[in-house]
Amino acid sequence: MSEAPIGRKEIPMPVREAGMRRTLRITPVSKDDYWIGIARTQEDLRAAFSVLHDSYVGQGIMDPHPSGLRCNLYQALPYTTTVIAKYRGRVVGTLALIKDSPLGFPSDKSFKKENDFYRQKNYRMAEASALAVHKDFRGYGHQVSLPLMKYLILYAIRHMDVTMLIATVHPRSRDFYGGLLNFHQNGEIVKYTFAKGALATHLTMDTRSLESWMEKTYRDLPVSSNFHWYIFEFDDPVLNFPERPKETALDFVMTPELLRYFFVEQTDVFKAAAPNELGSVHAAYSPFFDLSRVPFVGQALPNKDFRYMTRIPAVWMTESRVVLGTIYDLTGGGAFFSTEENVPDGGKGELVFNMGSRLFRISSQIAWANGLSRLHYPRGYGMRFLGSRPELVNLLVIGDQDELHEARQAEVISLDVAREARRKKIA
């Protein structure tokens, strides 16, 4: 890090951060113009990867690619959610949120020590990555970036069950994220290999304390600069969050056609991937799709380490004990049961939980215990089901369609009642 010029003292960090908050100007955007949500179609994903490519090329942190896209292996997995901002139907901004997994984070290439420090503390982690705004929309007072950041925070907390957000940013952006969102810097400034050696620093933010910190920090600021009001109190109509089973913490977007298009036809991502990486992609989608037409992935051996992230309250019952915990991840053959209680290795019992409107009691056996040895997992136990239950994965990812239909119908009825009440009041 460069030193301050001789004769001039560096402004203290708290003063710089306070200045960031005071100079922030929040102008909520119109629903008629903007839409923020998850990219799900080939058209939207291509536009997002194109905006990211052009932004990175413009900053000199990647070489131009013939496809005009920036694609990587993380985007192919359901652990990653690509968020987009549209202006009148045109994608003008994007960012990604990557849930921690056995494949790790992009930042592990330069900051694995820092990430492992928080993994050991049992945080549920995700990396904010790939924030980019189209060049035509960068001079409009954060009209694109602020809604994207709000979506990121609320989605991470409410839909991904994240307790620790990490980010890798250029050192000059540190005060912005620290001042507005209480991100803290860890470790040294390095040349970041994931961005062509650009300078980068590692930031973390505990989402559990964010709302209270923001409420206190922004208390005396007007609404036009009050980021707490904007994030947690303002009901922003441009944000569109996913409809999916509440038990899952992932949003599945990719299909065999999308995998082939982006990672085989447009780029060489799958061609350059390691066997275990291709195996993770295979394992993620093979319960739902025929992958035989996806080169490289279709021929890969499924990676047994792949798990579907969940957040399901559960009970482990034996003849003599009842242990409370949470199902942290799930497959058709087993689950990871997170609990602080001690349970004997090899013990047999029933794992009891609700998924949607259905109650499951599954005979299971403890296969392994985790203290701090497996950094991607909290304390708890890996459980093997005594009999395959493939329907669990379908329910987790797709949900009970009858139940989802009933919920949507209830929402429609509620809206109709509200509209009728408003009509009578106006009349």
Mean pLDDT calculated for residue range 155-181: 94
Superfamily of domain 308-400: predicted glycosyltransferase like domains (2.40.10.220)
**Cα angle value 253/244/302 (rounded, 5°):** 45
Q: Which residue has the higher pLDDT, 288 or 165?
A: 165
Q: What is the pLDDT of residues 297-312, one digit of tens each?
A: 999 988 876 788 888 9
Please, where are the H alpha helices in 223-344?
227-228, 256-260, 269-272, 275-285
Measured distance CA(422)–CA(219) in Å, rounded: 34
Beta bridge partners of 359: 354
CA-based nearest residue to 386, from 338, 354, 347, 427: 347
pLDDT surpassing 50 at residue 411? no
Q: Domains of the chain: which residue ranges? A: 13-233, 308-400
What number of H helices and E strands is found in the chain?
Answer: 13, 13
The answer to whether residues 353 and 315 touch, using CB atoms and an 8 Å cutoff, is yes
CA-based nearest residue to 229, from 14, 18, 20, 28: 28
Rounded to 5 degrees, φ, ψ at 320 are -120, -5
Q: Which two three-digit tokens encode residue 161?
A: 């069950």
Q: How many other C-beta atoms can be found within 10 angstroms of the C-beta atom of residue 192?
A: 22
The answer to whether residues 184 and 204 touch, using CB atoms and an 8 Å cutoff, is yes
The per-residue pLDDT for 418 is 41
The reply to whether the predicted model has a pTM over 0.95 is no
Beta carbons within 8 Å of 226's beta carbon, 6+ residues apart: 26, 218
Element containing residue 166 per DSSP (H, E): strand 164-169
Beta carbons within 8 Å of 265's beta carbon, 6+ residues apart: none
Q: What is the pLDDT of residues 192-231, one digit of tens each?
A: 888 888 899 999 999 999 999 999 999 999 999 999 999 9
The letter for the amino acid at 47 is: A
Q: How many other C-beta atoms can be found within 10 angstroms of the C-beta atom of residue 406?
A: 12
pLDDT surpassing 80 at residue 274? yes
Which CATH architecture describes the domain 13-233?
3-Layer(aba) Sandwich (3.40)
